[in-house]
Amino acid sequence: MLSYGLSIALGIIREINVAHGALVVLSAYLSYMSLSLWHMNPFLSLVWITPAMFALGWMLQRFMLSKARRVGSNDVVITTFAISIILANLLQIFFTSNTKSLILPYDLLSLSVANIKIPLIEVLDFVAGVTTYAVLIVIFKRTMIGKAMRALPVDEISAQLIGINPQTIYPVAMGLAMAVASVAGVFLGSMFPFTPDSGTTYLLLAFGVVVFGGLGNLLGTLIGGIILGEVFVFAGYYIGAEYQTTITLLIIVAVLIIIPRGLFKGEVF
Amino acid sequence: MAAPNRGQIGWIAVLALMLTLPLWASGSISTVVLILIYMSASLAWGFLAEYGGIVSLGQQVFIGLGMYGMIIFGTNMGIPMIYSIALSAAMNVALALALSTVIFKLRGAYLAIGTWILAEAFELMFTYWGYVGAATGATYEVAYLVPLTDVYYALLILTAGVAALIYYLYETKFGLGIRAVGSNEDVAKERGVNIALLKTIIFVFSALVSSLVGSLYILYNAYVSPSIAFSITWIVTLIFVNIIGGRGRIIGAAIGSIIYVAIVYLTTGLSEYSLLIEGLIIIAAWFLVRRGVWSLIADRISIKAPL
């Protein structure tokens, strides 16, 4: 069960857009930058990366995507796609296309629980995953803004009637998604080597998780994340890393055919 | 069309110029071939996006398979060129039919992501498939024997055919049906449009065109590798052309392709920045003129969609 950590980090990625993968990679690179420039522990670097990504997500939604949303969903796809290729190209210019990885000081440490050795990073990842999940649940269930975020997708017009302003809520939701993406980026980066083009792989995983778990179901995504993380790691281990993506994709396709609503009956998207 | 006669004369003049192009501008054929490749592929993509409401980021799957079909059937099995092109197209049509059962369960961003990942998976698959040369790619030798003018005429026929089809479909019942799907799927469904069927037809059609574009591209380039065939650059190109030209518009696609090829030539020394430059232009163009630069000009001189 080595991949639990990865799975949960993935499971939290819920709000996805086409540029999501590229933004997750961006966080990994930002963390790499603070590691190589200031020798900052990658997890510590989240202290500034998470707010930065929140701000970036907020701005993206506020100044661009909210405009695109009004025109049509196809415009959202096109603009976010353009953003993702710009980001991938920028990362390539600044960091070259060589594979990078986040090296942690306690990389080799591991805990033994009942004779099974678990690398510390997996444990940390697991803890971070569950914590983020818990924080999200609190935000969604307990705060006004969280409730507003849940209300909007259900019925935008009624939500507006009771005083919820989509113009203020959507940017916050996007910022939140990006903040979570930054956590995911740093954890994925500390477990797997990455390149500027890794975004597509992250996108595949995030997409699969959403398909598995059913859209808009936090618990579903958490469990979908665990299952898909297992599939991804085991496919890479037993069949070979070169077929990892293809196999994962095939399984997602199979799920789409058999249970289009996902394991937890989210809305059909 | 304000003045249909003038319009018709214009079309005949363009066609005559294009048909005689090898006689008076043989040096530029290679450039025009590129423009036609991008134009026909963009028309297929724009048709899918604007009229089918399907923004696919995986159209290069069909383009790439159109290229690889020539390697599989032509180079490896020794099947003559024309039949190889037809077999590649048939393979793509079959794939599109199979895919349509899955991907139409998705909408909007999810559909886009799904198709993008699909293309990525195909690139990976072909990178490890020794039969078609794995990562090093393969050469279609027959392409060296095909004169460039032949490739040019084939592309001209393809592009003109696609353009004519889009033009004449536009006002028919079928055309109205697909435009309805593109603008609002739910309303179209209520009005009794058979959405699943229409979407499948559009999807298969655009796969077919993309496949032919791919097969003709390999006659022009002779060489194919997974990173050429399934490159993300294809989709960037198609979006670029459609954003500049207005989605699914015929003259727009021509103008967009010309501008695209011009930019590629202008930035040859900066190829590592090409995606950045193109991405920025796409965003800028989208911000300035949502419906495409061409649409803005076309409105002024009263040329209506789909031209």
Ordered DSSP codes for chain A: -TTHHHHHHHHT--S--TTHHHHHHHHHHHHHHHHHHH---HHHHHHHHHHHHHHHHHHHIIIIIHHHHHH-HHHHHHHHHHHHHHHHHHHHHHH-SS-B----TTSS-EEEETTEEEEHHHHHHHHHHHHHHHHHHHHHHHSHHHHHHHHHHH-HHHHHHTT--HHHHHHHHHHHHHHHHHHHHHHHHHHS-B-GGGHHHHHHHHHHHHHHH-BT-HHHHHHHHHHHHHHHHHIIIII-HHHHHHHHHHHHHHHHHH-TTTTTT-B--
Q: Chain B residues with CB inside 8 Å of A257's CB? A: 101-102
pLDDT number for residue B208: 93
Q: Do B113 and A203 touch (CB under 8 A)?
A: yes
Is the pLDDT score of A54 beyond 60? yes
Within 8 A of B102 by CB-CB distance, chain A residues are: 253, 256-257
B68 within some domain: yes
| Cβ-defined contact of A86 to B275 (cutoff 8 Å) | yes
d(CA A130, CA A226): 12
**Hey, of A23, A198, A200, which one would you mutate to test binding to chain B, going by the most B CBs within 10 A of its CB?**
A200
pLDDT over 90 (residue B91) = yes
Domain, as residue range, for B109 = 28-232
**Which of A75, A86, A242 lies nearest to residue B128, judging by beta carbons?**
A242
Instruction: Tell me which chain B residue has its CA closest to the CA of residue A240.
Output: B128
CB A203 within 8 A of CB B113: yes
The pLDDT > 90 percentage for chain A reads 0
CA dihedral A127, A132, A134, A138 (to 10 degrees): 160
- Assigned domain for B133 exists: yes
Q: Quick one: average pLDDT of B62-67?
A: 92
Residues of A with Cβ-Cβ distance to B113 under 8 angstroms: 16, 18, 203, 207
Using pLDDT thresholds of 50, 70 and 90, give the confidence band for residue B123: confident
Task: Give B155 to chain A, closest Cα distance, Å.
Answer: 27
Is there a domain that residue B54 lies in? Answer: yes
pLDDT of residue A110: 56
Residue A63 touches chain B, beta carbons under 8 Å: no
Task: Give the total number of structural domains in chain B.
Answer: 1
- Nearest CA to A146 out of A130, A162, A169, A174 is that of A169
- CA distances to A93, B36, B229, B250 from B241, in Å: 25, 12, 19, 11
Q: Do B283 and A83 touch (CB under 8 A)?
A: yes
Q: Which long-range contacts (CB under 8 A, 24 or more apart) does B80-87 make?
A: B81/B142, B81/B146, B81/B219, B84/B215, B85/B212, B85/B215, B85/B216
Name every chain B residue with its beta carbon within 8 A of the beta carbon of A249.
117-118, 121
Question: Which pLDDT tens digit goes with each residue over B13-52?
Answer: 888 888 877 777 777 888 888 898 999 999 889 888 877 7
Decide if B272 and A260 are in contact by the 8 Å CB cutoff. no
The Cα angle at residue A28 between residues A104 and A22, in degrees rounded to 5: 160
Minimal CA separation from B244 to chain A, in Å: 13
Residue B243 lies in a domain: no
Which of A179-188, B131-140, B229-238 shows the highest mean pLDDT? B229-238
Helix (H), strand (E), coil (C) string for A22-47: HHHHHHHHHHHHHHHHHCCCHHHHHH
Say if the Cβ atoms of A80 and B113 lie within 8 Å. Answer: no
Q: Which of B113, B122, B186, B187 to mutate against chain A (most A CBs within 10 Å)?
A: B113
Q: What is the mean pLDDT of chain B?
A: 83
- Please report, as a single letter, which amino acid is at residue B114: G
pTM above threshold 0.90: no
Alpha carbon dihedral A116, A120, A122, A128, in 10-degree steps, equals 130
CB contact under 8 A, A203 and B55: no
Question: Are the beta carbons of A189 and A101 closer than 8 angstroms?
Answer: yes
Cross-strand partners of A117: A112
Which chain A residues are Cβ-neighbours of B108 within 8 angstroms?
73-74, 76-77, 269
Query: Taking the CA of residue A94 as centre, how many other CA atoms within 13 Å lie in the half-sphere pointing to its CB?
Result: 13
Residue A267: pLDDT band by 50, 70, 90 thresholds? very low
Q: Taking 50 as the threshold, does the pLDDT of residue A269 lie above it?
A: no
Residues of B in contact with A93 (CB under 8 A): 272-273, 276
Give the confidence band of A253 by pLDDT, cuts at 50, 70, 90: confident
pLDDT of res. B61:
92
Closest Cα in chain B, distance from residue A21 (Å): 10
Which residue among A89, A92, A207 sits closest to B117, beta carbon to beta carbon? A207
The single-letter code of the amino acid at A28 is: A
> What pLDDT shows up at residue A152?
66
- Residue B63, domain member (yes or no): yes
Of A48-52, A62-66, A133-137, B197-201, the range with the lowest mean pLDDT is A133-137
Which of these ranges, A112-126, B30-44, B49-63, has the smallest mean pLDDT?
Answer: A112-126
Chain A nearest C-alpha distance from B207 (Å): 19
Cβ-contact A47, B26 below 8 angstroms: no
Test A85 with B128 for CB contact under 8 angstroms. no
Window 94-153 of A, Cβ < 8 Å to B: none
Instruction: Single out the residue of B32, B96, B33 nearest to residue B63, CA to CA.
Output: B96
Residue, of A15 and B123, whose pLDDT is higher: B123
Q: Which residues of A touch B107 (CB under 8 A)?
A: 73, 269
Which residues in chain A touch residue B278, judged by CB atoms under 8 angstroms apart?
A: 85
Whether B182 maps to a domain, the answer reads: yes
> How many CB pairs (< 8 A) connect A and B?
114
pLDDT of residue A15: 55
Average pLDDT for residues A236-251, to the nearest whole number?
Answer: 74
In angstroms, the CA B295 to CA B260 distance is 17
As a whole number of angstroms, the distance between CA B198 and CA B174 comes to: 8
Is A89 within 8 Å of B53 when comparing Cβ atoms? no
Taking the alpha carbons at both ends of chain B, their separation in whole angstroms is 9
Q: What is the pLDDT of residue B31?
A: 87
Give yes or no for A181 touching B (CB within 8 A): no
The dihedral region occupied by B302, where left means phi > 0, alpha psi between -120 and 50, and beta the remainder, is left
Are the beta carbons of B113 and A86 separated by less than 8 Å? no
pLDDT for B220 equals 87
Between residues A261 and B82, the one the model is more confident about: B82
> How far apart (Å, rounded) are the C-alpha atoms in residues A168 and A70?
15
Beta strands B138-139 and A116-119 are unpaired
Percent of chain B with pLDDT over 90: 11
User: For the segment A189-240, what is each residue's pLDDT rounded down to a tens digit?
Assistant: 877 788 888 888 777 777 777 777 665 566 666 777 777 777 777 777 777 7
Whole-angstrom distance, CA of residue B211 vs CA of residue B151: 15
List of chain B residues whose C-beta atoms are within 8 Å of the C-beta of residue A68? 286
In angstroms, what separates the C-alpha of B24 from chain A's closest C-alpha? Answer: 39
**How many C-beta atoms surround the C-beta of residue A145 within 10 A?**
14
Rounded to a whole number of angstroms, the distance from the CA of B163 to the nearest CA of chain A is 22
**Is residue B13 situated within a structural domain?**
no
Q: What are the b/e assignments for B87-118, b being 16+ CB within 10 Å?
A: bbbebbbebbeebbebbbbbbbbbbbbbbbbb
A78 touches chain B (CB under 8 A): yes
CA–CA min distance A44, chain B (Å):
31
Asked whether the beta carbons of residue A73 and residue B109 sit closer than 8 angstroms, the reply is yes
Q: Is residue B21 part of a domain?
A: no
What confidence tier does B94 reach under pLDDT thresholds 50, 70, 90?
very high
Percent of residues, chain B, with pLDDT higher than 70: 94
Instruction: Give one word for A254, left, alpha or beta, with left for phi > 0 and alpha for psi -120 to 50.
Output: alpha
Q: Which chain B residue has the Cα nearest residue A260?
A: B105
Report CB contact under 8 Å: A207, B290: no
* pLDDT at position A266 over 50: no
